[in-house]
Amino acid sequence: MRSAWVIGAGGLLGSAVTARLRALGVQLFNRRVRWHDDASADADLAAGLAAYAATEPDPVIIWCAGAGVPSSAPEVFSAELGVFRVFLRTLRSLAGAQLERLRFFFASSAGGVYAGTGSAPYDEASPTRPLGAYGRTKLAMEQELGRFAAQTGARVVCGRLSNLYGPGQNLSKSQGLISVLLMGFLTHRPVQVYVPLDTIRDYLFVDDAAALTLATLERVAQEEPGSCHTKVLCHGYGTTIGALVGLTRLVIGHKPLIMQGASPLASVQTRDLSMRSGVWPEVDARARTSLLDGINRTYTDLARRHFDGGLVPALRQ
């Protein structure tokens, strides 16, 4: 690819994708988006699309944006879905040839869409059953994108990511157990965990997720126009929270201080969210960072940011 527009480039995945594209020599299109209200976001995305399309006959769009997390209020998800729908309508204004050459990656959530099915390990053929508004919104966005591809000829990938972690995690969003455990040690504060310690998750290092994202975009270029492919992006190994605590202890030299608690969010969490992928298995070798190495790299980043005074931790999971 010659160029790409990463929407949500400031987030955990978006920043890693941007860094990888820059290292590969891909020209990055940048456009500031005012996400604080729907009308401003719609206007900025429309202006950005017009500017990008004017210079790129083979557009590549990577949607990593998303303000909502599982604990967000319903209106946050309604706004997120609304902005996405408006952007897809705006995309339809591209010339027919551009639409057929368009490649679009959407960062979805494996845990969000599979949470209620109870048939781990999950793959692309697993039935979807979201337990909360977060998962329902991601699934609705996938469906909107599938209809868009079928009607315009664009090539689309819905990347269902497992639990993402790594340097750059935004701790103010109350997500990312690995970063929260590490910050608990750095700040000498206990971490409240509201799910059992035998809860299983697939932890995917953010740099691996970025590599997988770009690999799927290269792969979908070989598919027919109008195709929409779902791909689970995961490490492929389930890890209990108890084992995660043990690995964290190896990195920091101390057992993390955790407290079992209760939260309404526990109702939208399932015990086992282990993952695997059966689609385009040739790209999966890019998920190669071990969990121990990933935790260590995350800790190094958090310690640097913490002692620079730039972190405000949210120690509840």
**Mean pLDDT across 264-281:** 83
- Residue 32 CA to residue 26 CA, distance in Å, equals 19
Q: Would you say 130 and 138 are in contact if contact means Cβ atoms under 8 Å apart?
A: yes
**What is the C-alpha separation between 311 and 317, in angstroms, rounded?**
17
Q: Which stretches does DSSP call E strand in the chain? A: 3-7, 27-29, 60-63, 103-109, 155-161, 163-165, 191-193, 200-205, 228-233, 238-240, 258-260, 272-273
The model's pLDDT over 183-221, given as tens digits with 9 standing for 90+, comes to 999 999 999 888 889 999 999 999 999 999 999 999 999
286-315 b/e with 16+ CB inside 10 Å = b? bbebebeebbbbbbebbbebeeeeebebbb
Q: Is the pLDDT of residue 126 over 90?
A: yes
Average pLDDT over residues 92-100: 94
Q: Which helix (H) or strand (E) holds 22?
A: helix 12-23
Per-residue pLDDT tens digits for 218-252: 999 999 999 999 999 999 999 999 999 999 999 99
- In percent, the amount of the chain with pLDDT more than 90 equals 75
Is the pTM above the cut of 0.85? yes
- Asked if the model's pLDDT at residue 269 lies above 90, the reply is no
Distance CA 80, CA 72 (A): 11
For the ranges 130-144, 165-179, 213-227, 255-269, which has the lowest average pLDDT? 255-269
The pLDDT of residue 176 = 87
149 in Cβ contact with 226 (< 8 Å): yes
Q: Is the pLDDT of residue 171 over 80?
A: no
CA-to-CA distance for 146 and 143, rounded, in angstroms?
5
- What CA–CA distance (Å, rounded) separates 7 from 270? 30
Q: Which among 71, 8, 65, 14 has a CA at the least distance from the CA of 314?
A: 71
Q: What is the rounded average pLDDT of the residues 171-191?
A: 86
Residue 140 has pLDDT above 80, yes or no: yes
- Structure confidence by residue, pLDDT tens digits, 294-317: 999 999 999 988 887 655 444 333
Query: Which CATH number describes the domain made up of 3-164+203-233?
Result: 3.40.50.720
* Residue 41 phi, psi dihedral angles, 5° rounding: -65, -45
pLDDT above 50 (res 135): yes
pLDDT digits (tens, 9 = 90+) for 18-65: 999 999 999 999 989 998 889 999 999 999 999 999 999 999 999 999
CATH superfamily of 167-201+239-276+289-307: UDP-galactose 4-epimerase, domain 1 (3.90.25.10)
Looking at residue 118, what is its pLDDT?
Answer: 78
Domain borders along the chain are 3-164+203-233, 167-201+239-276+289-307
